[in-house]
Structure 1
């Protein structure tokens, strides 16, 4: 019996609560059928929890009507039909379509107005009424960017002048003098290179203060590899000064990259190994500098040593310097030393241009030269280059969204018996097409062309391998011109794991051998972010155009990119 009474009480309480928490219904009518149609086209919420919500909804609708030109709309008192239904009637009256806004050309720049109106005059400009709110926000944002963070705009003396037209005065309320950034204080990473603030982020003292501009510029921390922003910038306004506070921390930016490749030698049938070590040291001196060291040992007794030093913002200027030394040795046939010195100019965080000189010297190591295409030579050239980079900071596996590097050189190669003018062209570009959060397509194009009257084997381009066309031995292909397309379909299984396909194609020419050939590489791979770094495993099979598929031509490439 007690259980029955308890259950009955529970049901009664639930019904009682539901009864008293019932929704209120609102019905808004127009003074005419046309008014009702306009109100219904704008729309409003018809169900509410309490009377305050009902009243607020009616006021919101009236404000929305005013924004589109019905500034004289009026409503009747709210009528309570029954305990849960309320009604009111709104008379829209005249709709104003155009407004003439009079302004002071000493405080409002007419050039800004011309971007939002086709009819701008010395004292007034014409505007569609429905665009007033967005237009005032735009004008005010431009005023804020000029150092007036507390500026406000409003319309005063709004009066009808003709049918469907209004006039108004534009009133600007702001501080008399623009706010200038007097001091920039860095907290957390006090040794952050100041030149990066000046030229990479373009944040300097004596600039007009604009919160939106500062926010937009500091977003670039997401694409900087040696520092990141701990929290949003803060600003301290005093009577006579403005101080900007940036909160930065130093991040791991050094990287160690290596890979191991192995495959079966088609001639000997034995298993052969190749690989390389790539060390990048960045910002260890708190200057933004970078040092790259590369040692590579390929199949066929090829050895490569390379070092590259990059020093940005020399003498606190936007100009940097890049020095490079590249040594290549092919068995006991020849060795080649390439040196370059380039000056770079940072246009902005995405764009950079280069100019410099290249010098090469190659030596024939054979005591008896049985190959007439291998000779001692020296080359000197001038070079121009352009670089574009766009980061993808929210993705740890694929931090670079797209890049483009275009270089051209003009110089002369000299041997013991002849000198030839030469032109070099190199292009390397890649992009990621994000289909959704998990699926993407990676595209990369790498091409180089050497234009000359004659060619030597020890000056030709060498390509093939994990960073070129996969499924072939490292640097096993010689070309005076080559173009390679790498494509991958990537499926991201998690924030630290992805799998991908490999579809590569290449066309190359060897002017010495009068050889033209098409190559293809197919396979699959995976990448996983471990505590040690990004581990990559690729399996690819390479073949020429007229060659049949052979499993013995397959290559397995393993690499690990570790940051510290």
Structure 2
């Protein structure tokens, strides 16, 4: 506090001790702005606050005692937050500043300079100001910076859940070690871990500074990612007979703290088809960034045919959220009913590449914030009865993203497409099957058969709270089945309600789908009820 202000305060105490019950009017001599306070202590506090708002040379002008109050006239003097600023040579060189400028907010300028040095890793820089002179009632200030030591990220220290794969930590080190310690990199680290499938942050990354190092502490916790996913559907089959279908999906993940997963999937559709799928994934083989994925898929259509697929794959982690892989395809199908002529026996071998990007959602009700997958397979097919051998191309692409509109309003966009390209006529047991709960809603599970399909949809979601949300959706799709010479356009509409119960996430959905041009049938309405339980 300046000596002049201390002198003013001392004078006030001697004057005010005799008039503790009087009002005090504090009047700015230049602007005549009036502030009324009840006692001398409040008056002193007000005058002291002038220095805190950069009026360092405030001084008392006069004191007049009236019948009911005391009037105190003061002169604030120049505001040192509005000043002529001279930059040091280092600041002029570093940021190409001019030699001298006039600013109306010196504090804001100092914060900007401080942040510029923080962005360069100088976490403990000090912005110094030096009073030079008063010229034309305006202060002149010189600004310089003491940058201190530049900080770079030297290491990561894991606390809490420490049994994470070593490769996981090495990937973080590869991405960030040696980088400048700044807010941008801290936000990037936090973002990478927030969307991780197997771990979450108990609190934001913390930093320990020592004389020679900068350590980032990560307080991790293990996510509950094992899940049971069950669905029961109701609707009519092709003969208008009321039927039900069901799906069971059990996934065991990170049981051995290696971010591995084993999933078992079974589905029964209304047309008496059954699917069995087993997937095993080991992400960090031999502590490297190379992962192994092995999948076995079996589909049996009542007593007519059965198809078995075996797909081993190797992939590389491009980042925490991205994978790119190479896989083999071995497929065999056999006709079980000799009178069934729409299918034929065949074997297929091929090689393919695939890419996947996944980022988890911070909202427990949503599984992913973004989920993208693309696949291309080059296949050689051999047909037993005709001894025909042909080359085929198969692709698959899907994408999903949640957009936060505002408040509790969200928009989910999702699309999917697949194509099997071949010069020969395709039999029914090698075509794609789609439709149902996780596909084109409003249709029976796997009831749509095609060599090409594409669909997209928008789903509006309203979060009641972090435990429940309503949704309304619409989908449009198209497909092609060359063997039937059909290429209909499809639509689906519906609504649903999702909420958490002690047993897991409960989903209830009503939908209706049909071809464009066909009359709406209430009897085609599908009801799905499902539950996802994490443990």
The bucket for the TM-score relative to the shorter chain is 0.7 to 0.9
Aligned to 2:353: 383
Aligned to 1:332: 303
Sort the Cα spacing of 1:312 and 1:127 in 2 relative to 1 into closer, same or farther, 3 A: farther
Aligned to 1:296: 267
TM-fit CA distance, 1:407: 2.9
SS at 1:198 equivalent: helix
Sort the Cα spacing of 1:212 and 1:549 in 2 relative to 1 into closer, same or farther, 3 A: closer
SS at 1:398 equivalent: coil
Are the equivalent residues in 2 in contact too, given 1:201–1:217 (CA < 8 A)?
Answer: no
Q: How many residues were matched structurally?
A: 502
C-alpha separation between the residues in 2 aligned to 1:453 and 1:500? 43
SS at 1:358 equivalent: strand
TM-fit CA distance, 1:531: 0.7
SS at 1:58 equivalent: helix
C-alpha separation between the residues in 1 aligned to 2:102 and 2:370? 41
User: TM-score w.r.t. structure 1 length?
Assistant: 0.76
Unaligned runs of 5+ in 1: 1-19, 64-72, 114-118
User: TM-score w.r.t. structure 2 length?
Assistant: 0.80
Sort the Cα spacing of 1:153 and 1:507 in 2 relative to 1 into closer, same or farther, 3 A: same
1:139 partnered with 2:116:
yes
Return the match for 1:103 from 86, 90, 97: 90
Are the equivalent residues in 1 in contact too, given 2:196–2:359 (CA < 8 A)?
Answer: no
Aligned to 1:470: 441
Return the match for 1:51 from 23, 43, 53: 43
TM-fit CA distance, 1:463: 0.7
Sort the Cα spacing of 1:153 and 1:542 in 2 relative to 1 into closer, same or farther, 3 A: same
C-alpha separation between the residues in 2 aligned to 1:322 and 1:48? 76
TM-fit CA distance, 1:47: 7.5
Q: Which moved further from structure 2: 536-545 or 492-501?
A: 492-501
TM-fit CA distance, 1:271: 2.4
C-alpha separation between the residues in 2 aligned to 1:383 and 1:359? 11
Sort the Cα spacing of 1:432 and 1:214 in 2 relative to 1 into closer, same or farther, 3 A: closer
Sort the Cα spacing of 1:354 and 1:52 in 2 relative to 1 into closer, same or farther, 3 A: farther
TM-fit CA distance, 1:48: 7.2
TM-fit CA distance, 1:534: 0.3
Sort the Cα spacing of 1:464 and 1:211 in 2 relative to 1 into closer, same or farther, 3 A: closer
TM-fit CA distance, 1:29: 6.6
TM-fit CA distance, 1:275: 0.8
Are the equivalent residues in 2 in contact too, given 1:278–1:294 (CA < 8 A)?
Answer: yes
State the Cα deviation string for residues 250-295 of structure 1 (Å, max 9, x = none).
Answer: 232100001011213352x432111111011111001111222111
TM-fit CA distance, 1:301: 1.8
Sort the Cα spacing of 1:420 and 1:168 in 2 relative to 1 into closer, same or farther, 3 A: farther
Return the match for 1:257 from 213, 229, 241: 229
Are the equivalent residues in 1 in contact too, given 2:117–2:147 (CA < 8 A)?
Answer: no
Are the equivalent residues in 2 in contact too, given 1:362–1:458 (CA < 8 A)?
Answer: no
Sort the Cα spacing of 1:189 and 1:434 in 2 relative to 1 into closer, same or farther, 3 A: closer
C-alpha separation between the residues in 2 aligned to 1:396 and 1:432? 13
1:77 partnered with 2:60:
yes
Sort the Cα spacing of 1:291 and 1:28 in 2 relative to 1 into closer, same or farther, 3 A: farther
C-alpha separation between the residues in 1 aligned to 2:390 and 2:328? 16
Aligned to 2:415: 445
Return the match for 2:469 from 476, 498, 505: 498
Unaligned runs of 5+ in 2: 1-19
Sort the Cα spacing of 1:532 and 1:86 in 2 relative to 1 into closer, same or farther, 3 A: farther
Sort the Cα spacing of 1:528 and 1:51 in 2 relative to 1 into closer, same or farther, 3 A: same
Cα RMSD for the two superposed structures: 4.0
TM-fit CA distance, 1:411: 3.9
TM-fit CA distance, 1:517: 0.6
SS at 1:191 equivalent: coil
Are the equivalent residues in 1 in contact too, given 2:352–2:375 (CA < 8 A)?
Answer: no
Sort the Cα spacing of 1:409 and 1:154 in 2 relative to 1 into closer, same or farther, 3 A: farther
Are the equivalent residues in 1 in contact too, given 2:305–2:337 (CA < 8 A)?
Answer: no
Return the match for 1:317 from 280, 285, 288: 288
Aligned to 1:197: 169
TM-fit CA distance, 1:99: 4.7
